[in-house]
Amino acid sequence: MSIAVIDYGAGNLHSVRKALELASNLTGVNGPVVVTDDPERVAAADHVILPGDGAFADCRAHLDAVPGMIEAIGEAVDRRGRPFLGICVGMQLLATRGIEYGATPGLGRIAGEVRPVEPSDGRLKVPHMGWNTLQAGRSHPLLDDIPLGPEGWHAYFLHGYQLYPEDPADVVASADYGGPVTAIVATGNLAGTQFHPEKSQKLGIALLANFLKWKP
């Protein structure tokens, strides 16, 4: 099994790779984790991860600047049906569009818009930064054996924008930050986390292990 982390100049590539290697060893998958900007390796991978840090528009521009990468994602996701995971802005890029620094088209994989986090409590600061538990919106293999709810495990968030999906069924889990914050989305063989699993300790490793075992 091959695991490709897309390198397009955005994201915690080293941390993501190390977390995936740990998850791979725990599951017995033991597949090589490759950080790559080679579209052929992405298209041929068994699992594909799109990390992301920074502004939506900048990340989309960086992704577009890698020749053949958008097409490689389509090959992996659509033609080969491989599991795909977006992390932070990598998850946001799955949306129809983002409005950070002007309207920018996303990858159009999940109908919805990326807009600012707007907590109802004015004392809560934006960006949303810190540890939060998750509340399930629906069941999904990514959440297998992960304790949720107020007494559950914590995920690490750092973001000022969030994805607002048009279809509530696309929301697998949310966090509470003066109102619901989209934490995990999924449709078909695509999924995304607003939080950083590579920084979320046991929850993050468990989720990545579930991703590597996922057979959509």
Out of 47, 128, 159, 196, the active site residue is 196
- The number of CA neighbours under 13 Å toward the Cβ of 15 is 14
Out of 47, 75, 88, 128, the active site residue is 88
Q: Do residues 1 and 42 touch, judged by C-beta distance below 8 A?
A: no
Query: How confident is the model over 71-100, as pLDDT tens digits?
Result: 999 999 999 999 999 999 999 999 999 998
User: What is the layout of strands, in order, in the sheet containing 3-6?
Assistant: 33-36, 3-6, 47-50, 84-87, 190-193, 180-187, 171-176, 135-136
Q: Is 59 a catalytic residue?
A: no
Query: How confident is the model over 92-135, as pLDDT tens digits?
Result: 999 999 998 889 999 999 999 999 999 999 899 999 999 999 99
Query: How confident is the model over 150-204, as pLDDT tens digits?
Result: 999 999 999 999 999 999 999 999 999 999 999 999 999 999 999 999 999 999 9
Q: Is 88 a catalytic residue?
A: yes
The CA-atom distances, in angstroms, between 112 and each of 67, 95, 104, 209 are 26, 5, 12, 27
Kindly calculate the radius of gyration of the chain based on its CA atoms and give it in whole angstroms.
Answer: 16
> Does the pLDDT at position 31 exceed 90?
no
Q: What is the pTM of this model?
A: 0.96
Q: Is 113 a catalytic residue?
A: no
